[in-house]
């Protein structure tokens, strides 16, 4: 994870990867933002950084990255 072993809301790729790894029994398509926020906050090493609170856009990006980590990146049609 890095030198400090902590991460915050802005590290959406890391969070998505961790959720794919640690929340295999959860469905990112069926998870509301309140539940997603609580799940992220429970990840080992998560620390909310001053000046970087979570918002809907960040949660959408985390959810998108989580889905990509499970299914792979979208294919061009």
Q: pTM of this prediction?
A: 0.86
Please indicate, yes or no, if residue 39 is contained in any of the structural domains: yes
Please indicate, yes or no, if residue 66 is contained in any of the structural domains: yes
Domain that holds residue 64: 12-71
What's the pLDDT tens digit per position in 7-53?
999 999 999 999 999 999 999 999 999 999 999 999 999 999 888 88
Please indicate, yes or no, if residue 51 is contained in any of the structural domains: yes
Distance CA 74, CA 48 (A): 30
Q: Could you tell me which of 30, 28, 32, 36 has the C-alpha nearest to residue 70?
A: 28
- Please list, in sequence order, all residues whose beta carbon lies within 8 angstroms of the beta carbon of residue 66, skipping any fewer than 6 positions away: 15, 16, 19, 20, 23, 28
Give the total number of structural domains in the chain.
1
Please indicate, yes or no, if residue 42 is contained in any of the structural domains: yes
């Amino acid at each position: 994870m890095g030198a400090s072993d902590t991460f915050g809301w802005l590290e959406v790729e890391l969070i998505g990867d961790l959720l794919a790894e640690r929340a295999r029994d959860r469905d990112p398509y069926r998870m509301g933002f309140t539940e997603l926020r609580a799940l992220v906050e429970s990840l080992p090493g998560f620390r909310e950084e001053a000046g970087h609170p979570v918002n809907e856009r960040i949660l959408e990006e985390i959810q998108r990255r989580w889905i990509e980590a499970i299914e792979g990146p979208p294919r061009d049609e």
